Amino acid sequence: MSSAYLQCIEETCRRRQDSRKDAHSCAFCGGLLEVKYDFDQFDPEQLRHAWHQRRLSGEPIDRSGVWRFRELIPFVEPGARIVSLSEGSTPLVGTRRAGWWAGPVHLTIKHQGNNPTGSFKDLGMTACITRADSRGIRMVACASTGNTSSSMAAYAARAGIKALLFVPYRQISSAKLAQALDFGALVVEVGDTFDEAFRLLREIAPELGLYLVNSINPFRIEGQKTIVAEMLEQRAWRPPDYIVVPGGNLGNASAVGKGLWELKDLGFIEKVPQVVVVQAAGANPFYQTLRAGSSELMPVEHPSTEATAIRIGHPANWKKARRVLDWTGGFCESVTDAEIFEAKTVLAEDGVGCEPASAATVAGVRKLVRAGKIERHADLVCVLTGNQLKDTEYIMRHRSEDQESHQRLRVEPDLDSLRRALERALTSPVESR
């Protein structure tokens, strides 16, 4: 059997950690930890076949898009209960207008909004709540811009574990808050930003003995990395040129990179796609840090963007994400809220809905093609991280008077009025958006 251990990511340290403790940072230098494996010898061809076969199985562990690839995440002790809600197995869909608008490029969407709680966070949460549960942990906590909360609340409920959430006051969408409450979590609204809520949680966690499930938890990354196995399988194991993700706390970028790296190491792919991270201009510390070539993070003290899922000024995983860009020859771009809105509008014209943070990816591609950093007709996968219904306030807030008057009719309930209103609406040249 393959075996797992935790190791510090700092080049100057790289020390293995005491496997009986699930610490959040290195006991020696305070660096970030990652899960490492002594993998068994794999025959990639055989495993691909086994993974494919599992799609036909009715077993919950095989139906999950995370646990179907369990050979890639062998940290679960034999006999441990798997806490799953049948996450993953999300669609890969082509685009027409969005790819044309952004390039032209061959743009495919990996839609993580089709997860049990509506975001990619579910992939990480099934892994990390399974871990917590197997360690006998009875309470988990996180700070969140919203989606981690919804997801943690659901998986904790599933496992019968208490959930404690720290969210910035009035800074998360009502849909995300409602989900967390619905799943029975205890919600603490504290601070004006995610960074503030997270800092307070980290400070109080040791006192209360809290098990944190933020993306600094290395087991979250393990679940999230399976997205690349699933995406490659859906593409008959032909890697794209680029994989594009939005960047907030940078856990997702770290996970995508780790997944790619391991699949290459294990002989599943030869070419590794370049990983591209896109941040919002008002919350782009990673972009600024890389541009300045700084070896220290240049945080953004007052992050601001309507894409609340990526409104983060001190991304905890920035060193892991930087390593991923180095490994894959990737880069980071920054886009304005106006550009995000435009991208979201174009995606909607393809019938693809998503959260604003997700649309940042497509906006970033357009900018990079125009700057000549991504070649026209490149083969790209943009990861749309969250469901359209996560932030309907955003959609309604952005509707112009003109759109409203063309798209919404308030009609008296009689046939004459109805006929008149429809005649007018259906014959006037409808300005589509």
Ligand X SMILES: *Cc1c(COP(=O)(O)O)cnc(C)c1O
- CB closer to ligand X out of 159 and 384: 384
* Interface with Zn ion, residue 292, by CB under 5 A: no
Environment class of residue 143 by beta-carbon count within 10 Å: exposed (0-12), middle (13-18) or buried (19+)? buried
φ and ψ at residue 382, rounded to 5 degrees: -100, 130
| Residue 13 binds to Zn ion (criterion: CB under 5 A) | yes
> Which range, of 12-20, 61-69, 135-143, 250-258, touches ligand X by CB under 6 A?
250-258
In angstroms, what CA-CA distances link 256 with 55, 139, 277?
22, 28, 11
CB of residue 11 to ligand X, shortest distance in Å = 22
- Among candidate residues 146, 182, 178, 143, the one with its CA nearest the CA of residue 164: 143
CB of 168 to ligand X, least distance (A): 14
Interface with Zn ion, residue 28, by CB under 5 A: yes
Under rule CB under 5 A, residue 31 binds Zn ion: yes
- R_g of the chain computed on alpha carbons: 22
250 binds, among ligand X, Zn ion, none (CB under 5 to 8 A by kind): ligand X
Is there binding between residue 23 and Zn ion (CB under 5 A)?
A: no
Q: Which does 386 bind (CB under 5 to 8 A by kind): ligand X, Zn ion, none?
A: ligand X
Binds 385: which of Zn ion, ligand X, none (CB < 5-8 Å by kind): ligand X
Contacts of 207 (CB under 8 A, 6+ apart): none
One-letter amino acid of 230: E
DSSP 103-159: -S-EEEEEETTSSTTSBTHHHHHHHHHHHHHHTT--EEEEE-SSHHHHHHHHHHHHH
The residue among 251 and 273 lying less far from ligand X, judged by its C-beta, is 251
**Using CB under 6 A, which of 73, 357, 368, 378 touches ligand X?**
357
Query: What does the block give as tokens for 379?
Result: 């083969």
The two three-digit tokens of residue 45, written as one number: 């061809």
- Minimum distance between the CB of residue 2 and Zn ion, rounded to whole angstroms? 23
| Smallest distance, Zn ion to C-beta of residue 18, A | 13
**Taking CB within 5 to 8 Å according to partner kind, which of ligand X, Zn ion, none is near residue 251?**
ligand X
Check residue 259 for interaction with ligand X (CB under 6 A): no
Kindly state the number of chain residues that form the binding site for Zn ion, as judged by CB under 5 A.
7
Q: Which residues contact 172 (CB under 8 A, 6 or more apart)?
A: 144, 145, 146, 149, 308
Min dist. Cβ of residue 138 to ligand X (A): 25
Binding at 8: pick from Zn ion, ligand X, none (beta carbon under 5-8 Å per type): Zn ion
Residue 64, SS3 per DSSP: coil
Pairwise CA distance, residues 129 & 346, whole Å: 36
Shortest distance, position 28 Cβ to Zn ion, whole Å: 5
Binders in 213-232 for ligand X, by CB under 6 A: 215
Residue with Cβ nearer ligand X (17 or 215)? 215
Residue 21 phi/psi, 5-degree rounding, is -105, 140
Binding to ligand X, residues 22-61 (CB under 6 A): none
Question: From Zn ion, ligand X, none, which one binds at residue 29 (CB under 5 to 8 Å depending on kind)?
Answer: Zn ion
The piece of 3-11, 306-314, 333-341, 416-424 that touches Zn ion (CB under 5 A) is 3-11
The nearest distance, CB 321 to ligand X, in angstroms, is: 8
For ligand X, the binding residue among 6, 35, 85, 309 (CB under 6 A) is: 309
Asked if 88 is part of the footprint of ligand X (rule: CB under 6 A), the reply reads no
Eight-class DSSP state of 394: H
d(CA 394, CA 360): 14
Residue with the shortest CB distance to ligand X? 386
**Rounded (5°) CA angle 29-34-39:** 135
Which of 4, 6, 26, 164 touches Zn ion by CB under 5 A? 26
d(C-alpha 333, C-alpha 401), whole Å: 32
Nearer residue to Zn ion within complex by CB, 24 or 111: 24
C-alpha–C-alpha distance, residues 61 and 268, integer Å: 22
CA–CA dist 192, 67 (Å, integer): 37
Q: Which residues bind Zn ion (CB under 5 A)?
A: 8, 10, 13, 26, 28-29, 31
What residue ranges bind ligand X (CB under 6 A)?
119, 121, 147, 215, 246-252, 309-310, 355, 357-358, 385-386
